[in-house]
């Protein structure tokens, strides 16, 4: 089973913005996107550098917590 799934909210282990997983590649690379203000940004990261983000609205279903 993959460590991350499309739609997961993740963050770099070192911090930074919360990002949405856009694609997971078999070689352990994860494509993510996030907003910097109103600008949509994207990047490709090693799965080893990411963790599932903590806090409201961050779960594997993509739904906000009540």
pLDDT one-digit tens code per residue, 57-66: 544 544 444 4
Q: Which residue matches tokens 């070192």?
A: 14
Q: How far apart are CA 34 and CA 40, in angstroms?
A: 6
pLDDT in tens, 33-56: 999 999 999 999 999 999 999 866
Instruction: Report the residue count for the chain.
Output: 66
pLDDT of residue 64: 44
Residue 6: phi and psi, rounded to 5, are -55, 130
pTM, full prediction: 0.78
pLDDT in tens, 4-32: 999 999 999 999 999 999 999 999 999 99
Helical H runs in 21-65?
A: none
């Amino acid at each position: 089973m993959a460590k991350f799934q499309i739609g997961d909210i993740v963050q770099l282990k070192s911090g930074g913005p919360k990002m949405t997983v856009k694609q997971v590649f078999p070689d352990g690379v994860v494509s993510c996107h996030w907003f910097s203000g109103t600008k949509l940004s994207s990047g490709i990261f090693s799965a080893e550098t990411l963790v599932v983000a903590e806090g409201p609205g961050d779960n594997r279903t993509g739904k906000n917590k009540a």
